Amino acid sequence: MTDNIYKPVTATVLDIQLEAGGGRPIRTFKMQIDDESEREDFLHKPGQFCIVSHFGTGESVFAISSFPNTDGIVEVSAMRVGNVTGKLHELDVGDKVGLRGPYGNDFPVDDWKGKNMVFIGAGIGISPVRSVYQWVLHPDHRKDYGDVTLIYGARTPADLAYKEEFKEIEARDDLDLWLCIDWKFGPDGPIEAASHEDWPAINMKSPGDTEIPAGQNRFTCFVPQLVEVVKPSPENSIVVTCGPPIAIKFITQALEKLGWSSDQIYTTLENRMKCGIGKCGRCNIGDIYVCKHGPVFTYQEVKEMVPEF
Ligand SMILES: Cc1cc2nc3c(=O)[nH]c(=O)nc-3n(C[C@H](O)[C@H](O)[C@H](O)COP(=O)(O)OP(=O)(O)OC[C@H]3O[C@@H](n4cnc5c(N)ncnc54)[C@H](O)[C@@H]3O)c2cc1C
Ligand code: FES
């Protein structure tokens, strides 16, 4: 770690993958810290975040989506929404960036040994979830956990991130993978009949009553509805979920209907941040600093902090 706590280490962009196109594209950036002596300090834990700087423009906060390693390799998936993310999306392989971190708390993966694991990602929210499912599915760890269910949805098939990785995941026989694509919309809301090709519509009025053809694991619906279709059992289980706040709200409602309690559900918060280290007061909710005490919280903790959530 450098003496100036705000001074980033430099890293080189090794690879850039376009995950999703459209108006708010997502790119995954694989970066490697240049100075070998600084790589050990960046050994992160699943759930932690980092701050990436585009030199001359500014910094942005991102979940670290890659598996922890001592090679100084850090992957983040960034949606282009504004100044810094716009400039990051113009980078080429070989360009330099700054990195600060890893910051924040992490998912208690050791406490979860012996549990069934359910991962639920909506849109770009799959990024922090990825760091945990990669951990659980790693050959060194898979035996420590029970059944694994992975539920993930995006707007269209083209918007699904980590496509190559998901092909490998789908070929595995030690997990259940469920995918969904948003409804198409008409003037009065979602249109049940207009499902995407190869992605049949669920029973919109009563998702839990959807008949599932053998081998069918992809549907047209929203992620919370897919949760009702899949019906993950709360028994001896933990959920890790992340997505836009509205998706989290309905995902947790769907889980509660299935008998899950708030302390079995873990999520990460993405409050606006600046320093990332509990100094600036930008991210706090009451006396909780999301950058320092979080970003990982149980849903029970979130409800106590933000009663309207
Ligand atoms: C812990 C944490 C983890 C995050 N992980 C990811 C990630 O993995 N991938 C990813 O794409 N983004 C992630 N974000 C959000 C990301 O930090 C912001 O999108 C980014 O900082 C915007 O920077 P900008 O300069 O491009 O946009 P700006 O020019 O600052 O703003 C442009 C738009 O983005 C919105 N915006 C800015 N910051 C945030 C924020 N923190 N949350 C929501 N909207 C914001 C603004 O309201 C505005 O509409 C994370 C944020 C936090 C706090
Ligand atoms: S981002 Fe500065 S205190 Fe949390």
Assess whether pLDDT exceeds 60 at residue 1. Answer: no
Q: At residue 2, does pLDDT exceed 60?
A: no
Tell me the ligand closest to 59's alpha carbon: 1
User: Do 128 and 231 share a structural domain?
Assistant: yes
Nearest CA to ligand 1 atom 51: 270
- Distance in angstroms (rounded) separating the CA atoms of residues 293 and 298: 12
**68, 41 in Cβ contact below 8 A?**
no
Same domain assignment for residues 55 and 157: no
Domain boundaries, position 22: 9-103
For residues 170-186, b (16+ Cβ closer than 10 Å) or e, as one string? eeeeebebbbbbbbeee
**CATH value at residue 36:** 2.40.30.10
Mean pLDDT to the nearest integer, 111-122 = 98
Alpha carbon of 290 to ligand 1 centroid (Å): 14
Residues 226 and 173 in one domain: yes
Q: Summarize pLDDT for 8-53 with one digit per residue, the tens.
A: 999 999 999 998 887 789 999 999 999 999 999 889 999 999 999 9
Residue 274 lies inside a defined structural domain of this protein: no
pLDDT score for 309: 66
Domain boundary among 103, 134, 149: 103
In a shared domain, residues 134 and 85: no
Residue 165 maps to a domain: yes
Beta bridge partner(s), residue 151: 120, 178
288 in a structural domain: no
pLDDT in tens, 230-256: 999 999 999 999 999 899 999 999 999
Helix (H, G, I), strand (E, B) or coil at 134: helix
SS3 194: coil
pLDDT of residue 29: 97
Task: Decide whether any atom of ligand 1 lies within 6 Å of the 297 Cβ.
Answer: no
157 plus 229 within the same structural domain: yes
Is the CB of residue 49 below 6 angstroms from any atom belonging to ligand 2? no
Place 94 in a pLDDT band, splitting at 50, 70 and 90.
very high
Q: Is residue 280 situated within a structural domain?
A: no
Determine if ligand 1 sits within 6 Å of the CB of residue 228: no
CATH of the domain at 233: 3.40.50.80
Ligand 2 atom at minimal distance to the Cα of residue 279: 3
- Per-residue pLDDT of 191-221, as tens digits, reads 777 778 889 999 988 999 999 989 999 999 9
Rounded distance from Cα 293 to ligand 1 centre (Å) = 19
Q: What CA–CA distance (Å, rounded) separates 147 from 125?
A: 22
Does any domain span residue 303?
no
Q: Among the three residues 44, 74, 103, which one is the final residue of a domain in this structure? A: 103
Q: Is the CB of 22 under 6 A from ligand 1?
A: no
- pLDDT averaged over the chain? 93
Q: Phi and psi of 230, rounded to 5°? A: -75, -35
Q: What pLDDT shows up at residue 308?
A: 64
Distance 307 CA to ligand 2 centre (A): 21
